[in-house]
């Protein structure tokens, strides 16, 4: 018998926490989740000022959007965003662990402080979040964790320093956690992007001294001939958070325009 499938991507009734939500992918994901009828989104970021886009979301969606300011490298932040989600919405269905730092230099040129800062923000932050959110998901009978990986977690790229090992660690954490928590109904996946058009990339282009050449280099590195927009990446995060993607777990999904296929 032929099954009928509803291809409308909806997050109706789902509550999400999104880290690194003040710009780039995190901001786009926060907006996309709210627009997909999520019951609530807790947006987490270090900046004290609230971006205009989030102010617009708050005006449109009201209390469905909650904001937590904090450094994801600290356990206190994980405790706070877990508390807010449960206090305001009563459950946590989705964690999008997206916040990250990068130091652009070879490994041997990193100071010990730089190495620890990258690893704490990109890897230990997932541990802190899991320490508080996984018990909630176990108690409620399931949930989803989406980790923002990278092409740098799969291949070597010059000057990726501590960033590349940190993303490789996330890819393996997803596999480990997927196996560990499958019996509790918790799924864990990585979305590993190529270059995405974000404010950080624009800043890097200016600092390169040859913005036009820098953009051309980024585009040519991807067989598809361009880089991704934050909105198209967010659409995939939305699909992966929906019930349409319920058979995915332990997956490292390369959204990279063919970068790692070469």
Catalytic residue of the set 33, 163, 181, 237? 163
The rounded Cα 244 to chain-centroid distance in angstroms is 19
- Examine the residue annotation and report whether 127 is marked as an active-site residue of this protein: no
Backbone angle region of 250, left / alpha / beta, with phi > 0 → left and psi within -120 to 50 → alpha: left
Largest distance between two CA atoms of the chain: 62
| Sign of the torsion angle spanned by Cα atoms 24, 26, 29, 33 | negative
Angle of helix 125-140 versus helix 75-89 axis, rounded to 10 = 30
Nearest C-alpha neighbor of 174 from the set 238, 250, 248, 103: 250
| Pairwise CA distance, residues 45 & 38, whole Å | 19
Length of the chain: 262
- The set of catalytic residues is 163
């Amino acid at each position: 018998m032929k099954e009928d499938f509803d291809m409308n991507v909806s997050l109706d009734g789902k509550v999400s926490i999104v880290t690194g939500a003040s710009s780039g992918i995190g901001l786009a994901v926060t907006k996309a989740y709210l627009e997909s009828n999520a019951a609530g989104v807790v947006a987490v970021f270090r900046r004290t000022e609230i971006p205009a886009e989030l102010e617009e979301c708050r005006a449109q969606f009201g209390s469905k959007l909650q904001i937590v300011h904090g450094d994801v490298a600290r356990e206190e932040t994980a405790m706070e965003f877990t508390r807010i989600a449960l206090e305001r919405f009563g459950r946590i269905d989705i964690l999008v662990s997206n916040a990250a730092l990068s130091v652009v230099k070879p490994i041997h040129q990193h100071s010990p402080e730089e190495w620890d800062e990258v690893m704490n923000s990109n890897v230990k932050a997932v541990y802190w979040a899991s320490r508080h959110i996984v018990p909630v998901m176990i108690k409620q009978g399931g949930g989803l964790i989406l980790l923002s990986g990278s092409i740098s977690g799969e291949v070597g790229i010059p000057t990726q320093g501590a960033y590349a090992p940190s993303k490789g660690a996330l890819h393996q954490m997803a596999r480990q956690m997927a196996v560990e928590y499958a019996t509790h109904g918790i799924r864990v996946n990585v979305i590993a992007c190529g270059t995405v058009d974000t404010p950080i990339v624009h800043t890097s282009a200016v600092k390169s001294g040859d913005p036009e050449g820098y953009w051309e280099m980024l585009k040519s590195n991807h067989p598809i001939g361009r880089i991704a927009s934050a909105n198209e990446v967010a659409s995939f995060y939305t699909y992966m958070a929906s019930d349409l993607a319920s058979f995915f777990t332990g997956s490292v999904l390369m959204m990279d325009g063919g970068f790692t296929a070469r």
